[in-house]
Structure 1
Amino acid sequence: MNKNILYIAIAVIVGLLAGWLIFGNSGSEANANKDVSEMSDTHDHSGESENQIWTCSMHPQIMQPEPGDCPICGMDLIPAESGADGLAMNEIKMTENAMALANIQTTIVGNGSMSEDDGMISLSGKIATNEENNAVQASYFDGRIERLNVNYEGQKVNRGQLLATIYAPNLVAAQQELLTTASLKKSQPELYKAVRNKLKNWKLSESQIDAIESSGNVRDNFPVYATVSGTVSEVMAREGDYVKQGQPILKVSNLNSVWAEFDAYENQISNLKVGQKIKVVTNAYANKEFDATVSFIDPILNNATRTVTVRATLKNTDDLFKPGMFVTGKLKGEMKMNNEVITVPASAVMWTGERSLVYIKTNPNEPVFEMREVTIGNRNGENYTVTEGLQNGDEIVTNGTFTVDAAAQLQGKKSMMNQEKKEDAMMPMSEMEMEFSENFQKQFKKALKPYLQMKDALVASDADQVSFFAKEALLLLKAVDFKGIGNMEQSHLKKSIEMLEAIVANDNLENQRSHFVILNENIVPITMNVKGTDEILFIQKCPMANNNKGAIWISNQKEIRNPYFGEDMLTCGEVVDSIN
């Protein structure tokens, strides 16, 4: 009995010891693992906090490593997308699904191989009338158009064809002189000859003059005949119109030859010269090439399009070319094939008018892209040569480029429409030099006080007060002495007065603010050239005003109080200059 109890006791002790060894160690390990896990979690969150980028919902180009206010509009910064972790500042990442839906394709670029089309420059243009063959059919005497025989554009006319019949009082008087001097031609031959010459100067033929003289009858209406053959390009008078001597009636173009006018970009000018052979292709005759020669290169560059006009003359005896028809010209240019020149498909290049852009795939294993600016050379068919910005082996987007750019823009990254640029809008204004007399400056400074009060009224969104102070400023500006100031100065002052008048006459706050934009564009340069202002003035700017084009104003306080948005965006803006 005692032995059994002893065995049971020993078994219990052994069991407890075994249980402690098994479960005790497991719990310790769990606790240890828990501690390690907590430490790991704490470390990870710390790392995320350190790498977190903060941005502005209204200005996604703002990227800061810590929270705060947007330096442009003053709004609270928000955390940037966590999905951008591991990407460079201007890199974007797309999903495989988005890539497939947008049919985005990439190509590895390298040096282009020589082919038949290498060195060929492609130009786009239109057919225009040959102005050397244009003629104006004018009236040779004063009168009224009784009948106009040619009265619509596109009508064919032949030399000697009757164009119009005109009642000419002066010709009636000249005919009476002819009949009178005809009886005196033996005694006064010089007078008779002078009268005949007068009628000849009015384009009457010898036979017409002889017919008047032999019949003894005076004609009231006289014909006007075509002096050239061609096609009517413009009708400049109508039946019943009174015309003066030399006044145009018709414009006639001879379309036996026409001009093909092409636009050539700056980087193509060095490859062009007068006398160069050019092949012209048009959609109307797609399988046919027409040979021509460059006859003119415009010496003046068009500032709006950054192109020059290149002209070639085409024979058009078969009437194949119609003015206004689109054409393409191909000519041989000098093309240096070297390691610095890379050929890319035209679909890969986005052209903004000032720069050319492509998208590079920066990660060969993932759909990560970044915009890059490149310098393009000639266009050869469906390809561009790139002289700067790419290297052999770069992988670029060749299809779906605009889709990638749209994704970059939505993520606030560098894109075609969201280019990071230095703020230089105020530079021309600050460098604008104006000269004013002391008397003018003294009078002008009086108008600044109601201007500043008007600005404060716009901040308060009080349209009535805006009109009231605008009227005060207007009266003071109208009283200033204009004498002795230059044309540029007068132009700015007159435009300022015009805008103040518009603000006074308008009680709609938004319209007042629109006029305030233009007022400041004119009154700020004047103020910056006035010496000795009564207090320090600050030139401030809101980049979101004027439909996101930006607008400036003058303030006597450094603190931003936005007159274009009032309470809606009171602190949106920055100080861009000051006047001491």
Structure 2
Amino acid sequence: MKIQLNKPFFITVALLIATATLAHYSAYWRMQDTGEGGKATAKKEPLYWVAPMDPNYKRDKPGKSPMGMDLIPVYEEAGGDEEIGTVTISPDVVNNLGVRTAPVTRGQMDVSVNTVGYVQYDEDRLIHIHPRVEGWVEKLYVKASGDPVQKGASLYALYSPTLVNAQEELLLALKRNNATLIEAAKERLASLQVPKSEINRLRKSGKVSQTITVTAPQSGVLDNLMAREGMFVKPGMEIMAIGQLEHIWVIGEVFERQASLVQVGDQVQMQLGYSPGREWQGQVDYVYPSLNTKTRTAQIRVHFHNPDGYLKPGMFAQMRIETAPMDDTLLIPRQALIRTGSQSRVVLAKGEGRFKSVAVQVGNINDEQAEIILGLDEGDRIVTSAQFLIDSESSKTSDFRRMNHGSDDKAETMAPTSVWVGARLKSLMPEHRMLTLAHDAIDDWQWPAMTMNFTAAKNVDLQGLQSDMTLHVEITREGDNNYVISQIHRPDTVTDDMPMADGESSISHDVLEMDHNQHQSMTHDAAVLEL
């Protein structure tokens, strides 16, 4: 039977073929888009899960922390290494944390130095009393340190054969009426600290005094009384000192890093902790040129008027020194600074909820601002509140990224923890497991050839070692600066764990090849059995 095909039939068939073709390619495109979306979704899968309160607790799947809290997923940050340490916080969390930011500005910084000081006598008005001749203290008119004295008051009476002879020389010169001898005798008495009034009395009375009374050269208070009645004294001995309380010095201690800020003439406010509400005004009188080697501080001297005598030598005071302001300084709010034992950091606000903790180099700091030397630019925005939480999260993210980023150049070039080196035994103390070795140069540690003391590990046998013996030792680094001898190869023994020279590698080559062939044969037989 013959089937007649008309034009509508062909049109219908063509439409069906076209529809099937479009459906095929549409499905293909959808599958391709789904695959790309799956890849994108795969990229956003968590890298690992960590405990909210303990970033060191890390797992490869969801679960509970030791404290019963849900683990938090950690995702791979976009942007590669440039985003390491950057954390993203949603706007509602930023609002709940109370995050506030402030700009990094450039301007003038008022710097003041807060320090402590010690009250002492004004040494320009402190007079020391020393005898000019040897003798005995017959009478002491002052009894204790701290007693007030007036100018011209008697201090002590001294009997001295030298003074008696000097008086007799003046009387002899007067009897001879020799002007030259008289003047010479008077000058000698004056040089021996005999008061002028005593010399005039001697000329008028013509009688020698067995004791000479020494008077106070100024008014003040007695300090360092070292003499007592009946004591034998001689030139060079300090008997006492007289200081004044109307003018006193305060010696301040300034840290080494702040010493360059303090200049002569800077204004100083001083307070005493046990005298609230009272303040003394003064200025820096002198900056000492050297530092105290024990405290690493520089000393400054401040002069204060003390008309009522309230300030006493030995008092402890708090001082505030107003130094010259610093111009054109990069400044941040002080509360934004995070200071640790090893570095200083701030949290940089990068916009769109992204934050990153960055290290900065800090200069001077006052009550409200901190000087930034390196690490920030003018116009940057930094976090001034809740920065400790963000810094902790940023540091945690940065540390995890470093752990999962693979070995970097520093890890590849890290020096080995142990090395073998030739050495000669200089001395040995077996009871303390101490060795003195003259070892060769160690290139891996950049050590030159030198003689050092080492401690031997507990598993190292020291029996049979003698001085001048040539050894091959393994030095192991434990910690930063602790090096121990972990192994010793002696000339007459061979150990399996000692590294072999190039010529020795051929000894075990056949054995290694045999083991390798046996391993391949065993692997092949196992594969056949599995099949």
Report the Cα distance in structure 1 between the residues aligned to 2:126 and 2:375, rounded to whole angstroms: 48
> Could you tell me how far 1:139 is from its partner in structure 2?
1.2
Matched residue, 1:140: 132
Report the Cα distance in structure 1 between the residues aligned to 2:242 and 2:132, rounded to whole angstroms: 17
Paired residues of 1:167 and 1:222 also in contact (CA < 8 A): yes
Q: 1:556 to 1:377 in 2, by over 3 A?
A: farther
Instruction: Give per-residue Cα distances to partners, 1:236-269, cap 9 Å, x unaligned.
Output: 4444433223532112222211223334445545
Q: Which has the larger radius of gyration?
A: 2
Quick one: which of 485, 509, 519 aligns to 1:571?
A: 485
Equivalent residues in 2 for 1:404-553 (5 A)? 452-454=425-427, 456-457=428-429, 460-461=430-431, 538-540=450-452
Matched residue, 1:157: 149
Report the Cα distance in structure 1 between the residues aligned to 2:359 and 2:453, rounded to whole angstroms: 30
Name the aligned partner's letter for residue 142 of structure 2: V
TM-score (normalizing by structure 1)? 0.47
| Residues 1:119 and 2:110 aligned together | yes
Q: Secondary structure at the match of 1:287?
A: coil
Equivalent residues in 2 for 1:143-542 (5 A)? 143-185=135-177, 188-265=178-255, 268-269=258-259, 271-302=261-292, 305-323=295-313, 324-336=315-327, 340-345=330-335, 349=339, 357-358=343-344, 374-380=361-367, 384-389=370-375, 392-394=381-383, 452-454=425-427, 456-457=428-429, 460-461=430-431, 538-540=450-452
Instruction: Give per-residue Cα distances to partners, 1:528-554, cap 9 Å, x unaligned.
Output: 9xxxxxxx9544476999xxxxxxxx9
Matched residue, 1:65: none
Report the Cα distance in structure 1 between the residues aligned to 2:271 and 2:456, rounded to whole angstroms: 47
Report the Cα distance in structure 1 between the residues aligned to 2:254 and 2:109, rounded to whole angstroms: 18
> Could you tell me how far 1:173 is from its partner in structure 2?
1.6
Report the Cα distance in structure 1 between the residues aligned to 2:358 and 2:210, rounded to whole angstroms: 77
> Could you tell me how far 1:388 is from its partner in structure 2?
4.0
Instruction: Give per-residue Cα distances to partners, 1:499-542, cap 9 Å, x unaligned.
Output: xxxxxxxxxx9xxx8xx9xxx9xx99xx99xxxxxxx9544476
> Could you tell me how far 1:155 is from its partner in structure 2?
2.5
Report the Cα distance in structure 1 between the residues aligned to 2:238 and 2:205, rounded to whole angstroms: 32
> Could you tell me how far 1:398 is from its partner in structure 2?
9.0
> Could you tell me how far 1:130 is from its partner in structure 2?
1.9
Report the Cα distance in structure 2 between the residues aligned to 1:560 and 1:133, rounded to whole angstroms: 69
Q: 1:175 to 1:330 in 2, by over 3 A?
A: closer
Name the aligned partner's letter for residue 281 of structure 1: Q
Paired residues of 1:177 and 1:195 also in contact (CA < 8 A): yes
Q: 1:392 to 1:162 in 2, by over 3 A?
A: farther
Name the aligned partner's letter for residue 153 of structure 1: S
Instruction: Give per-residue Cα distances to partners, 1:467-496, cap 9 Å, x unaligned.
Output: xxxxxxxxxxxxxxxxxxxxxxxxxxxxxx
Instruction: Give percent identity, aligned residues only.
Output: 20
Report the Cα distance in structure 2 between the residues aligned to 1:217 and 1:163, rounded to whole angstroms: 23
Report the Cα distance in structure 1 between the residues aligned to 2:194 and 2:267, rounded to whole angstroms: 46
Report the Cα distance in structure 1 between the residues aligned to 2:230 and 2:99, rounded to whole angstroms: 69
Report the Cα distance in structure 2 between the residues aligned to 1:160 and 1:544, rounded to whole angstroms: 77
> Could you tell me how far 1:204 is from its partner in structure 2?
2.3
Matched residue, 1:61: none
Q: 1:210 to 1:295 in 2, by over 3 A?
A: closer
Q: 1:288 to 1:561 in 2, by over 3 A?
A: same
Q: 1:125 to 1:140 in 2, by over 3 A?
A: same
Instruction: Give per-residue Cα distances to partners, 1:36-73, cap 9 Å, x unaligned.
Output: xxxxxxxx99x99xxxxxxxxxxxxxxxxxxxxxxxxx
Q: 1:559 to 1:227 in 2, by over 3 A?
A: same
Name the aligned partner's letter for residue 156 of structure 1: P
Name the aligned partner's letter for residue 293 of structure 1: Q
Q: Secondary structure at the match of 1:308?
A: strand
Q: 1:183 to 1:281 in 2, by over 3 A?
A: same
Instruction: Give per-residue Cα distances to partners, 1:372-421, cap 9 Å, x unaligned.
Output: 564231423x7654444566424688999xxxxxxxxxxxxxxxxxxxxx
Matched residue, 1:492: none
Q: 1:317 to 1:357 in 2, by over 3 A?
A: farther
Matched residue, 1:28: none
Matched residue, 2:525: none
Q: Secondary structure at the match of 2:162?
A: helix
Paired residues of 2:220 and 2:245 also in contact (CA < 8 A): yes
Report the Cα distance in structure 2 between the residues aligned to 1:161 and 1:373, rounded to whole angstroms: 65
Report the Cα distance in structure 2 between the residues aligned to 1:543 and 1:397, rounded to whole angstroms: 49
Q: Secondary structure at the match of 1:177?
A: helix
Q: 1:143 to 1:349 in 2, by over 3 A?
A: farther
> Could you tell me how far 1:345 is from its partner in structure 2?
4.4
Q: 1:248 to 1:347 in 2, by over 3 A?
A: farther
Report the Cα distance in structure 1 between the residues aligned to 2:173 and 2:278, rounded to whole angstroms: 65
> Could you tell me how far 1:137 is from its partner in structure 2?
1.3
Report the Cα distance in structure 1 between the residues aligned to 2:211 and 2:456, rounded to whole angstroms: 68
> Could you tell me how far 1:344 is from its partner in structure 2?
1.5
Paired residues of 2:111 and 2:364 also in contact (CA < 8 A): no
Q: 1:361 to 1:224 in 2, by over 3 A?
A: same
> Could you tell me how far 1:192 is from its partner in structure 2?
2.8
Report the Cα distance in structure 2 between the residues aligned to 1:281 and 1:572, rounded to whole angstroms: 61
Instruction: Give per-residue Cα distances to partners, 1:279-324, cap 9 Å, x unaligned.
Output: 3333244323333222222334555555433332111112232333
Name the aligned partner's letter for residue 134 of structure 2: D
Name the aligned partner's letter for residue 375 of structure 1: V
Q: Secondary structure at the match of 2:278?
A: strand
Unpaired stretches in structure 1, ≥5 consecutive residues: 1-43, 49-82, 92-104, 401-447, 463-508, 529-535, 546-553, 563-567, 574-580
Name the aligned partner's letter for residue 172 of structure 2: T
> Could you tell me how far 1:226 is from its partner in structure 2?
1.2
Alpha-carbon RMSD: 5.7
Paired residues of 1:261 and 1:312 also in contact (CA < 8 A): yes
Q: 1:298 to 1:216 in 2, by over 3 A?
A: closer
Paired residues of 2:336 and 2:382 also in contact (CA < 8 A): no
> Could you tell me how far 1:121 is from its partner in structure 2?
0.7
Q: 1:230 to 1:110 in 2, by over 3 A?
A: farther
Report the Cα distance in structure 2 between the residues aligned to 1:156 and 1:146, rounded to whole angstroms: 21
The answer to which structure has the higher helix fraction is: 1
Q: 1:275 to 1:232 in 2, by over 3 A?
A: same
| Residues 1:559 and 2:529 aligned together | no
Paired residues of 2:346 and 2:382 also in contact (CA < 8 A): no
Unpaired stretches in structure 2, ≥5 consecutive residues: 1-45, 50-71, 86-96, 390-422, 441-447, 458-467, 477-481, 488-531
Paired residues of 1:542 and 1:572 also in contact (CA < 8 A): no
